[in-house]
Amino acid sequence: MQHASPFPAPVFHDSDNGSASPAVTALPHWDVSAFFPSLESPEFDVAYDVLIAEIAALAALWDEHNIAARPTKSLAASPEIVRAYEAATSAYNAVLDSSRLVGGFIALFTTTNSRNDLAQAKRSGLSKHYITLGVCGTRYTAFLGSLDPDSLLAASELARTHEYYLREAQIAAQHQMSPVEEELSALLYPASGAAWSKLHGDLTSQLTVIVPKDGAETAHPMSVVRAMATDPDRETRRTAYHAELAAWKTVAVPLAGAMNAIKYETGALSQKRGWDSPIDSAAFGNHIDRATLDAMLSAARKSFPMFRRYLQAKARRVSGADKLPWYDLFAPVGDASQTFTWDEATAFITENFGAYSPKLRGFAERAFTEQWIDAEPRPGKRDGAFCMSVRGSESRIMQNFRPSFDGVSTLAHELGHGYHNLCLADRTPLQSGTPMTLAETASIFCETIVKQAVLKNADEAGQLAILDGSLQGQCQVVVDITSRFLFEKGVFEKRRERELSVDELCALMTQSQSDTYGDGLDVAQMHPFMWAVKGHYYGSTFYNFPYMFGLLFGLGLYAQYQTEGERFRPRYDELLSRTGMSDAASLADGFGINIRGEEFWTSSLNLIGQDAEAFAALAAKGV
């Protein structure tokens, strides 16, 4: 089972064209005082110390009730077993709630200023106690795996409300190493898996890029340079692309070392735990099976010609060429001149969320009024965007806002994650552990709401720009995600034999891009360092496919909303509230969707195809 960290995992909006803009100022920072006055405050110190004490007490409770694998399997639910289960489950949920608040508060500082030494020290200090919490989680899974679930469910109401977690633990327990090995793995994690991810984040957030312009050179954060991929001036995009690649070369060796280390560790632990591959482990952790994954990937591959036609149409529009170089992937086309100030963006989102439901509108109004959002780009702040649940129904959203529709779309996307957290607010931590596959459901839905709204009032040139922006993202999630899937699969396979050099990683990356983008992109101008860009590669799981699942599942649900209207809303909120309490196939079945067959995935891809055809027609007209 995947156990909660004291540092809540933010749900990232995986944006390849960057999202920061050096021209944007006077944007909001999130309000942290709703939780604690500051990192230096006595109130936070007390909560920090209490969490540490709670973790220690949890470990003592585990020993008291022998929360661990029992020698007898399928243990019947005796009164002693029921008491042990209920005491452990209640205490575990309480500690996870505390860790979400305290760890989340620290993350509010580390993600917006990687140079905040106090926040980094607090994070590091808490990490060693998370080792204990991680061991408790492993022992809890082993304990549940020893029990007869049916007899426990009959004897305990608490077990019945946590049935999905209980039954998943039966499988997860079969994929555990010995208790001693699991404890050693947890003890080493801060200096292994977590350390490689932190190294990537620290290196990339502080990386400076030298960009030549008009005979001079200027230094910019990487996030700003990557945002130049959307600049209307083609020479600016080309220069930024080459400057970015040059900058990645300066940190390529340590990042390659981190990549080799984390992939070897993940592969070795996966094999030791009895998984056929890290993909199978990741599929289980994402509440899907291989039949679902294979059906989705097969449908995606069959859609590549459609995406290539879109890329070719864009190439003809941008430069008159037949294929796009990488630096033209995110080139604006059509009339992208429409700008949104921050106030205009929030008003537009509030209005159109309200057209869906008063509940969604009220949620957005609360997020804006209570200052849940950190929108200003600045040095030391990580790139991209994310939403993080901190306490109850309260979330915090980080974005590097740009005054464009893309900035509005990203904000709507992250608010969708926050709305999902709202729907989960009454669930316990063990009921609300949502996998990445289902975490994108509400965000894609909310993104689609604002896209459809802006298309209604746009002229043809505006429609072209909006369609292109949408197709850019969808191409990334279907085509580029498949390239990353192939890359990551290849790295895992090759790393079993030996380390891969920087050149080998770059070659594998460009081969994967060529295999997926095909004749839509210029093979001589790919992005060989995309493996260095994406922080997700440096986590301890196989990460890529959940984004595609989220996009296509979210689009399919939006299509159902258009058909069903009012009847859809309460069912949809119920689905969002149960994403940690059921597998994806069962949740989809409630809407008459079979995710184990290609038909559903193809139908969602066909919706994208309609936009691609509309784009090509408008581009050919020269609007």
pLDDT the model gives residue 310: 98
Instruction: Return the exposure string of 28-56: e unless at least 16 CB atoms fall within 10 Å of the residue's CB, then b.
Output: bebebeebbeebeeeebeebbeebbebbe
pLDDT for the residue 418: 98
Q: Which residues does 552 contact at the CB level (< 8 Å), separation at least 6?
A: 296, 478, 600, 601, 604, 605
pLDDT by residue (tens digit) across 21-55?
Answer: 444 448 999 999 999 999 999 999 999 999 999 99
Q: Backbone phi, then psi, for 109, in 5-degree steps?
A: -95, -45
**pLDDT at residue 1 in the model:** 53
Distance CA 152, CA 139 (A): 18
Q: Which residues contact 80 (CB under 8 A, 6 or more apart)?
A: none
Structure tokens at 384: 């991209």
CA atoms of 623 and 620, how far apart (whole Å): 8
* C-alpha to C-alpha distance for 15 and 385, rounded to whole angstroms: 8
The pLDDT, as a whole number, for residue 136 is: 96
Cα–Cα dist 170/188, whole Å: 25
pLDDT given at position 193? 87
**Per-residue pLDDT, 466:** 93
| pLDDT value of residue 21 | 43
Q: Two tokens at 509?
A: 């990356």
Question: Which residues, at least 6 apart from 324, have a Cβ–Cβ distance to it below 8 Å?
Answer: 311, 312, 314, 315, 318, 520, 521, 522
Residues in the chain: 623
pLDDT attached to residue 384: 83
Instruction: Provide the residue type at 338 as one letter.
Output: Q
CATH number among 1.10.10.10, 1.10.1370.20, 3.30.565.10, 1.10.3720.10, domain 251-338+458-623 = 1.10.1370.20
Characterize 508-522 residue by residue with b for buried, 16 or more Cβ atoms within 10 angstroms of its Cβ, and e for exposed: bbbbbbeebbbebbb
Give CA–CA dist 346/355, Å, rounded: 14
Angle between helices 290-318 and 278-285 (to 10 degrees): 100
Edge-to-edge strands, sheet with 373-374: 11-13, 385-391, 394-398, 373-374
Structure tokens, 334 = 């059509």
Q: Which two tokens stand for residue 236?
A: 């600016």
Q: Half-sphere exposure (CA, 13 Å, Cβ side) for 259?
A: 32
The burial class, CB within 10 Å (0-12 / 13-18 / 19+), for 71 is exposed
- Which residues 6+ apart lie within 8 Å of 81 measured at CB? 75, 147, 152
- The parts of the chain modelled with pLDDT lower than 50 are 2-7, 11-25
Domain definitions of the chain by residue range: 33-191, 251-338+458-623, 339-437
Among 314, 349, 342, 341, smallest CA distance to 330 is for 314
